[in-house]
A and B are shown apart, each in its own frame.
Chain A
């Protein structure tokens, strides 16, 4: 995000695209339901532009 917090940087967009691509490549049966959810949570951290202090 830029300084004003209103526009996305190319890095932010690349992170989102990367997360969605990684999500699409997950093999559901390999991870199982809980494993898959953990993966989705990890990808979501990358997809949503991070504020300075995540909880």
Chain B
């Protein structure tokens, strides 16, 4: 049994879970080596695919005999469907011929419906978490970059876009992250300002 995730935008299929390492080999053969097989047909045609004699299957003239020689003769591929798209597939393989009856496909389809929803929800959550992390990182970096842009504009009269381009140029040239360049610009400006405005010890004494 393998569970695959299908990326509709790129047509990429990724095997993410398998009940036995042996079936991973079959899926690799199907997706990476031959680009044909029951699961590919199931995903492309949005239908359950069931076969009981892979070795003699004319639909997959390269995949069938190869897997048949491995001693696997039956396959049941169930697309994980949501309205308008396929989010993955469940594949079951068996060594014996005609292992999966029509009713096995019906049970598989009944299970595939909630499985598709669960998989889609997990994918949406993973994407949301990734986006949140990216935005949090951007938010944390933004203030110091804005401050550096202000410093550069005050020094040279650049526009905000020109100042940001200047930061990026330095980042590229020095192989330093933009946020680190910005931090250096701000720290340098603050350091100079403090040096200029520090009251001297002598004048303080005199004032007292």
Binding site for B on A (CB under 8 A): 1, 5-8, 12, 16, 19-20, 23-24, 26, 28-29, 31-34, 36-38, 40-45, 47-49, 51-55
Contact = CB atoms under 8 A, between A and B. Distances in A.
Interface string B115-148: 1001101110110000000000000000000000
Contacts of A42: 19
Given A47-B108, A51-B96, A28 B122 contact: yes
Interface size class of B (residues with CB under 8 A): 35 or more
A53 B19 contact: no
Contacts of B125: 28-29, 33
Contact of B93 (A16, A40, A52, A55): A55
Looking at B96, B108, B115, B121, the one whose CB has the most chain A CB atoms below 10 A away is B115
Contact of B1 (A7, A16, A36, A45): A45
B6 to A, nearest CB: 12
10 contacts: A1-B104, A5-B103, A19-B111, A23-B114, A26-B118, A33-B16, A41-B1, A44-B111, A47-B111, A54-B19
A41 B18 contact: yes
A6 B74 CA distance: 17
A53 B111 contact: no
Contacts of B72: 55
A20 B99 contact: no
